[in-house]
Amino acid sequence: MATTEAFKGIGRIRYEGPKATSMLAFRHYDADKIVEGKPMREHFRFAVSWWHTFRGTGSDPFGPGTMRRPWERGGDSLDAAIDRVAVGFEFMEKLGAPFYCFHDRDVAPEGATLAESNANLEAVAKRLKEHQDRTGIRLLWGTANLFSHPRYMQGAATSPDARVFAYAAAQVKKAMEVTHELGGAGYVFWGGREGYQCLWNTDMKRELDHLGTFMRMAVDHAREIGFTGQFYFEPKPREPMKHQYDFDVATCINFLRTYGLERHVKMNIETNHATLAGHEMQHELEYAGLQGFLGSIDANTGDTLVGWDTDQFPTNIYLTTQIMYTILKYGGLAPGGVNFDAKVRRESCDPVDLFHAHIGGMDAFARGLEIAAAMRADAAIQKLVEERYATWSSELGKRIESGGESFKSLAQAAIGMGPGPEVASGRQELFENVLNRYVAG
Ligand code: XUL
Ligand code: CO
């Protein structure tokens, strides 16, 4: 086991309160602090993503990696992958992150054959398990990378080639088994390249049917191996494909219902994916919540001036307030959590930047939670919303909502209304000022 410290000079990150002088301390994230009846730790279930934090190189379409990462010196060898586990757990222990997430190919290298890839994954999983047992840090979810290898260039479950479907099935089978062995609380499906670049060469119906079949096989396999973790579907509208079949929450829910998967799969919702789909994160969370599909979130943010999935760490308190308000409204995330599917900027090339990034994200979420809980305690927004819908509590409103009216009976009622009702103001600015009272104090 590698014994050298990777993050020398950095100790355990502690909560020091809003007046902390150190930049390597939490100002708001106090894991034990009780909010709405449970500790912050349980509200968030923060997870570190293995791919960005330990494998991210800083490469972009215009240039190669820039990150100074001593733990990458061994490249993509199995030995390096096994040694890197100690680095990952040192980081998470120092940060106080209770969970992590991975793709099979982030933690272990792809081999020359499937059997070799599987053996690599098993070898690394053994080391992951040792460190989980040593530290108590757990796996929030696992997933399979079905998008990097050239065999998946035209999709995995939606590939036009049935042999690719079979290969992908074998890969997911193994990734699920390893997730299960590690006690993972969930398993994620993100489309990767499940979508199309051109409709003229695509049989969309067939591809969607194949994706439904693939997920059904995963659900059946879970039952067979006794995996009771939560399945998630992660929406993203485009990138890398021009259209992805997991476009947004509404599209995913429709897909799940079409293929009879709605009892087995919930949503893993990512901020930057929501905005790529032309939605706010709050919209995606609200829609999933009201349909009973709110599962887990990938915490990050995009950049309004850059068009792609920039996966930045979230620091905007309005954003985290919106997120936590909606999550509280729908009863929390567990067994899901808040996974930082986020990467430091290409210019932030030192290992310590990984700490600044996660500390900032965790603090922003903690502040958002506190603000959202204060708003809920006063029912400040709820009262205004109730006033806006007050006529639905009148006799007429109640009768319509309970199904006791028809077009015929309503036509009669409307006749008596003269030119029609004078509708009350929507008062959006008032709502926004109420929100600001809580955010800005
Ligand atoms: C890609 C993305 C993935 C998923 C897991 O944009 O978000 O990392 O979260 O495959
Ligand atoms: Co993601």
**Strand runs labelled E in 172-298:** 186-190, 195-196, 230-234, 243-244, 265-270, 294-298
Ligand 1 interacting residues, C-beta cut-off 6 A:
103, 143, 188, 190, 234, 236, 270, 298, 309, 341
| Cβ partners under 8 Å of residue 305, min gap 6 | none
Sign of CA dihedral 56, 62, 66, 69: positive
- What is the value of pTM for the model shown? 0.97
| Residue identifier of the C-alpha nearest atom 3 of ligand 1 | 190
Ligand nearest to the CA of 309: 1
Probe target for ligand 1 pocket from 55, 141, 236, with the most ligand atoms within 8 Å of CB: 236
Q: Is 136 left (phi over 0), alpha (psi -120 to 50) or beta?
A: left
Q: Report whether 147 contacts 119 (CB < 8 A).
A: no
In order along its 441 residues, the chain shows pLDDT tens digits of: 446 899 999 999 999 999 999 999 999 999 999 999 999 999 999 999 999 999 999 999 999 999 999 999 999 999 999 999 999 999 999 999 999 999 999 999 999 999 999 999 999 999 999 999 999 999 999 999 999 999 999 999 999 999 999 999 999 999 999 999 999 999 999 999 999 999 999 999 999 999 999 999 999 999 999 999 999 999 999 999 999 999 999 999 999 999 999 999 999 999 999 999 999 999 999 999 999 999 999 999 999 999 899 999 999 999 999 999 999 999 999 999 999 999 999 999 999 999 999 999 999 999 999 999 999 999 999 999 999 999 999 999 999 999 999 999 999 999 999 999 999 999 999 999 999 999 998
**Strand runs labelled E in 281-404:** 294-298, 338-340
What was the pLDDT predicted at 3?
60
Report how far ligand 2's centroid is from the alpha carbon of 234 (Å). 7
Q: Report whether 315 contacts 359 (CB < 8 A).
A: no
Q: What tokens were used for 276? A: 């790529």
Q: What tokens were used for 153? A: 């260039």
Report how far ligand 2's centroid is from the alpha carbon of 273 (Å). 8
DSSP one-letter code for 312: B
Residues identified as active-site: 103, 106
- In this structure, the dihedral spanned by the alpha carbons of residues 352, 357, 359 and 364, taken in order and rounded to 10 degrees, is 160
Helices (H), 306-350: 317-329
| Residue identifier of the C-alpha nearest atom 10 of ligand 1 | 190
What was the pLDDT predicted at 307?
84
Distances (CA, A) of 93 to 52, 82, 139, 297: 17, 18, 14, 22
Rounded CA gap, 325 and 333, in Å?
12
Rounded CA gap, 95 and 54, in Å?
14
| Residue identifier of the C-alpha nearest atom 8 of ligand 1 | 341
Bridging pattern class, strands 338-340 and 46-49 = parallel
User: Can you identify the CATH homologous superfamily of domain 14-18+36-378?
Assistant: Divalent-metal-dependent TIM barrel enzymes (3.20.20.150)
**Strand runs labelled E in 41-190:** 46-49, 99-103, 138-143, 186-190
Length of the chain: 441
Report how far ligand 2's centroid is from the alpha carbon of 6 (Å). 26
Rounded CA gap, 341 and 321, in Å?
18
Report how far ligand 1's centroid is from the alpha carbon of 291 (Å). 23
| Cβ partners under 8 Å of residue 92, min gap 6 | 48, 100, 135, 137
Residue (of 34, 13, 113) closest to 357 by Cα position: 13
Ligand nearest to the CA of 189: 1
The 3-state DSSP class for residue 149 equals: coil
Residue ranges covered by each domain of the chain: 14-18+36-378, 387-440
Sign of CA dihedral 99, 102, 85, 60: negative
Distances (CA, A) of 162 to 13, 152, 166, 254: 49, 12, 6, 25
Query: Peptide bond before 335: cis, by omega within 30 degrees of 0?
Result: yes
